[in-house]
Chain A
Amino acid sequence: AQSVTQPDIHITVSEGASLELRCNYSYGATPYLFWYVQSPGQGLQLLLKYFSGDTLVQGIKGFEAEFKRSQSSFNLRKPSVHWSDAAEYFCAVEGNAGNMLTFGGGTRLMVKP
């Protein structure tokens, strides 16, 4: 069975600083990987996804993620964080049961002025 681990429950960064959110997955085949963002009181919005090909994928809002098969990781990065990026971020992998997503526990990002 697939699983996703986000080791950092909370992260605080200063506005303008760079950001990296960690995600490790366990899956037997080539994974489909995703990052979602959830702003307070809102639903989930897809930031980016990886299916195949180029291991560095670009998403919305200036985010990118790099797939590293050897490390079973799909870390999310942003070079300069804005206060509006404060939210909870979820990494997910598509599972075997057709379109079923398995989510990590989430990382809550706080941005200091």
Chain B
Amino acid sequence: EAQVTQNPRYLITVTGKKLTVTCSQNMNHEYMSWYRQDPGLGLRQIYYSMNVEVTDKGDVPEGYKVSRKEKRNFPLILESPSPNQTSLYFCASTTDGGGTYNEQFFGPGTRLTVL
């Protein structure tokens, strides 16, 4: 089954304790991205990657890191989480459309609470 998986689905942590949220897709997609969802703000892009070893900032990259060492994986790293990073996080992937749109597939979400 074609899918995007995220782990963990739920995480409660404390300020300053480094964490990683994993994202993996099995569709051989070039393009992957991370979004955070906050009430009234919709989804905002944090980082995206157009292929292996190619990453770039989205709209709200502060406080986050990413890496893309393999095509299928795109982990989101919070080196020193703060309470304002409490949010619902979504990973998404799609093929590189080369100027045409290809549907983005979203993971199930990771609900993060930083105390």
Q: Give the B-binding residues of A (Cβ under 8 A).
A: 4, 6, 9, 32, 42-46, 49, 51, 90, 92, 94, 97-106
Contact = CB atoms under 8 A, between A and B. Distances in A.
A4 B103 CA distance: 19
Contacts, number: 62
A4 B42 contact: yes
A100 B40 contact: no
A100 B109 contact: no
The secondary-structure label for the interface of chain A is loop
A98 B56 CA distance: 11
Interface residues of B, number: 27
Contact of B97 (A6, A90, A99, A102): A99
Cβ-closest 8 pairs across A and B: A103-B42, A103-B43, A43-B106, A44-B106, A105-B42, A43-B108, A105-B40, A99-B31
Contacts of A46: 103-104
Given A32-B101, A44-B90, A49-B101, A101 B108 contact: no
Interface string B33-62: 101000011111100101000001011000
B94 A99 contact: yes
Given A42-B108, A43-B90, A94-B101, A101 B45 contact: yes
B43 A90 contact: yes
Contacts of B40: 9, 105-106
B43 A43 contact: no
Nearest to B99: A98
B109 A99 contact: no
B81 interface: no
